[in-house]
Structure 1
Amino acid sequence: MTKIFKTPFAAQGDKVAIPNEVQPDGAVSYTQGYGYDYERDQNTDPAAKDIEREKMNGIFHDITEAVGEMQTFGAAQWTVEAQPYPLRGLVYHKQKLWQSRIENNKEEPTAGNAWIELKADLTAGEVGAYNKEEANQRFQPLGNYTPAGHSYSKEESDTRFQPKGNYQPTGNYSLKGESYLKSESDVKYQPMGNYLTAGYSYSKDESDGRFQPKGNYAPTGNYAMKGESYTRPESDNKYQPKGSYQPAGNYAVRGESYTKRESDDKYQPRGNYQPAGSYQPKGNYQPAGNYAVRGECYTRGESDNRYLKSRGGTTLVYNGPGITDGQAASLSQDYRGRFMFFQDADGDYTTLAIFPEDWATMGVTSGSNGYAHLRLENNGRTLRCVYQGSNAKVSKVWVL
């Protein structure tokens, strides 16, 4: 016979509460249960643990108390700790049995949208129904009834109507021959209305023979017979949209090969790379990295021919017979945006000048009263003397 736990195990015995969380010292918990320390040899292993009497009593007490609660009430009692309750979960609360009507139910059981009370002695009023007495007073026995007022009673019919026969309707009639019969009028006249002149419009038969019903028709053209071409749904299911597709072939299943992004991250393009140095792993090439594509940067030779080496000094870029009004001197490279100064025929140095763009005229002075107007042309490769004043004939050009 099934044991009914009216009294939980060790109700009056020595017991301690068992924690839910795993314990740092390996003690028993509801999450871990009895760990490996309880299996160690107590004769040889100092880390071995005893199965404590009070804790075992606590475990059996918890289990039998929960089983007894369900045996007594038919369901576990509602508690905040057990939330949330699932859809159709059963609980016992305030002497009533409740069923959850929603998922993740965190409400306290009460009549409403979240819970519904379950009971065997529901009354008609509790479910919104009529009891027998109310139903007998409110309704008549089932039958084939005609609604009140829908038909005349026999007495009303006998008073109101005469037996069925071929009678002339009551009315003010003209004598025979004084008026046309309906059939005569129908033959002789057409119904009154707003008529168009004969020939003004097509008759229905003419229109039906001449025109087709109004609708959304395709323009006249050379169409394939139905069934000789695919419909739009058939084409959509049979073919893919026009585009640039990979040609048919034997391809690797997704995951068996690297995608372009994976290959780009893992490998560098094939090419002629700088040999690895002694500080790199042994190999024939520079390790993969973020390198500029060939042609996007200058080589050392190109840079040496294009730019002056930065050494904190000056470079003589023109040394000639000198230029005066309207004359120009050719330079080796583009010197726009560079610090430039000049030396006149007397050996005096001028003030510094920077030419930001071609045709930007700058004024420079030399000595006590010499001055000149200069500018760059030909993408910074030609120096022209626009105007020379006093003794400022440019004979040498220096770049800082």
Structure 2
Amino acid sequence: MQLSFLIHNGYAIGGTVRTTYNLAAQLAEHHDVEVVSVFRHRDTPALTPDPRIRVRHLVDLRTDSLGSDRAHPLLKRPAADFPRAEVRYARYSALTDERINAYLAGVTSDVVIGTRPGLNVHLARRTRPGPVRIGQEHLTLSAHDQELRGELEAAYPLLDGFTTTTEADARAYRAGMNLPGVPVWSMANPVPAPALPPVAGDSKWVVAAGRLAGVKRYDLLVRAFARVRAERPDWRLRIYGSGKQENKLRRLIHELGLYNHVFLMGPAHPIEAEWVKGSIAAVTSSLESFGMTIVEAMRCGLPVVSSDAPHGPAEIIDDGVNGRLVPVDAGPETFAAGLLQLINDDELRARMSAAALRSSARYDPAAIAERYESLFTSLRAARGPRPAGLLRGAVHRGRARLLGSVLAPRAAVKKGRPE
């Protein structure tokens, strides 16, 4: 099959970019795969894609490129097709409308996959007849306001299928959106096995990684670690990442006298080399659409102490087996208690480390790609003629019933075994 991924900016760094390249690389073992980036702002992608993947762009924002579109007059005119309520709307324009729609009108792939809401709307409405159209949600339904939900509800019935990263979000879409006949599945993000050996578990470091943003609640983690230091001053914390909260966190570290125990390390890529220096990973987010860093840490053998935030952590962590879940509204004392339970019990930490390695193998790209391949094949087989507009609902419902027998939700699936 020929497969195309349509992505916002495949030359940048981000969870969706990393996930897309991981999945595309695995699919490229058996299929012809391309990643089409709406924007290009640098000569080479920041995350190196597999050489078997073709990467191309639609709009060139490089300043020193002969083909740069930075002076194109349509770049200054607002987008009409990209949803106005989408968080990235300001980045899109009449030029992106023109280029995306031209690409979709002539695409030759068997399957086209959109990777964010605004691109899924383009995909649903502008793709020529023929290719299977699949929209992906890399955030959550709850992250979208009512205006955007209305736009998605108007366009998404024209898709052939839709995926979320967690079963919790898939249930939200099934219950909260009117998508007649459009099957919705949870497809976890693929995370490759690290090239490095797993952690030894004897270092006295807690490691955290991610954007230094309010939603990550690193201030809670720093305050919790002040309580860890009071009991176990031999342990330390490294936080990897960059963002708007950096100065605020530095001030907090100084105010709490933690400058010899908590370290802001800046961004690191690849992050695996930093995970394996620790013995415990910490996640304090108030919202996780999936929990990529949780899986990355577990694939390195780290048990994870995480807030039980919607939606991902509870589908990945089996509390007390491969990590600990702390109530999302808990204070520093409760989170510190979760860390100290593993810090103070070497045997428990070793057991959880081994369990983390075993359970995280289900997120291997080969396993996730196999499920996507089944989805592609089944959708293509179930299609039949495509009536116009909402009259397609009957065809969608028949296709959904057929797919239910092929990719039926697994009622027994628990703790991150993606449905």
Same-fold call, TM > 0.5?
no
Which is bigger in relative contact order (C-alpha 8 A, separation at least 6)?
A: 2
Larger helix share, 1 or 2:
2
Q: Which is higher, the Rg of structure 1 or of structure 2?
A: 1
TM-score w.r.t. length of structure 2: 0.14
